[in-house]
Amino acid sequence: MQLEAMPPVVRLTHVSRTYQAGALEVRALDDLTLEIPPGRFSVVIGASGSGKTTLLNLIGCIDAPSAGAVEVCQQKVAELDDDAVADFRARNIGFIFQTFSLIPVLSAYENVEYPLLLVGMPGPERRRRTLAMLEAVGLAAQAQRRPNELSGGQKQRVAIARALVKQPQLVLADEPTANLDSATGASIISLMRRVQADSHTTFIFATHDPQLMSHADEIFAIRDGALLEHRGSAS
């Protein structure tokens, strides 16, 4: 099936998310409706506090909307209980964080292998995939190093490998290049672009990085929790 003919990987319908900050109610997302097509390199842009991270949290099923419906990979998230949501994330969603968030006591190899343990993949297949993924991000030689023995760029490569090793339908990245210098950031973007082109995995970024925006297939501009603009092939 052509990608264009496939249903959207993310569908948000009249989604609102409010937070209570003391006596004040903060509306992070306000009646947001959007669809993100599959197999694209999508970017969510907006000023600080515009609701980018909240949007990613809802798409990543680590937060629940105050109102509206969130459908990810054709699954209505509200229908799942806590364990089922965790299992759903383990199978379908990969995360890349700004601060890399590797588990410090595990080696690069073990960090990449961890998501495969969560989905119960058998040992030999797990090992093959982990090594292949480390090879793909250029870290085969550093496989046994702990995160504190790696540079920032290497840590983010491990994080990318960890997000992609289980071949998820969706990868979410919140400011993945924010803690990297521009040259390393560029190499990370190029790596993600290459991996995305090979695997047709849907990537959704929240970013301020113009380099990253220039690689985007889809751009969703958010302001004050509402969709301001959508530019891209599906628009």
- Binding residues (CB under 8 A) for another protein: these are 57, 60, 62-63, 82-83, 86-91, 93, 95, 97, 99, 101-106, 110, 114-115, 117-120, 162
**What secondary structure letter does DSSP report for 10?**
E
Report the nearest approach of another protein to the CB of residue 102 (Å): 8
Give the residue with the Cβ less far from another protein, 25 or 229.
25
Residue 215: which of 177, 233, 196, 189 has the closest Cα?
A: 189
Ranges of beta strands (E only) in the chain are 10-21, 24-36, 41-45, 67-72, 75-76, 93-96, 170-174, 202-206, 218-223, 226-232
Nearest to 216 by CA among 45, 43, 3: 43
Least distance (Å) between residue 63 CB and another protein: 5
DSSP type of residue 147? G
In the complex, the smallest distance separating the C-beta of residue 5 from another protein, rounded to whole angstroms, is: 29
Torsion of CA 124, 129, 130, 131, to 10 degrees: 90
Is the Cβ of residue 57 or residue 154 nearer to another protein in the bound state?
57
Q: How far is the CB of 224 from another protein (least distance, A)?
A: 20
Nearer to another protein, 37 or 59 (CB): 59
Residue whose CB is less far from another protein, 163 or 216: 163
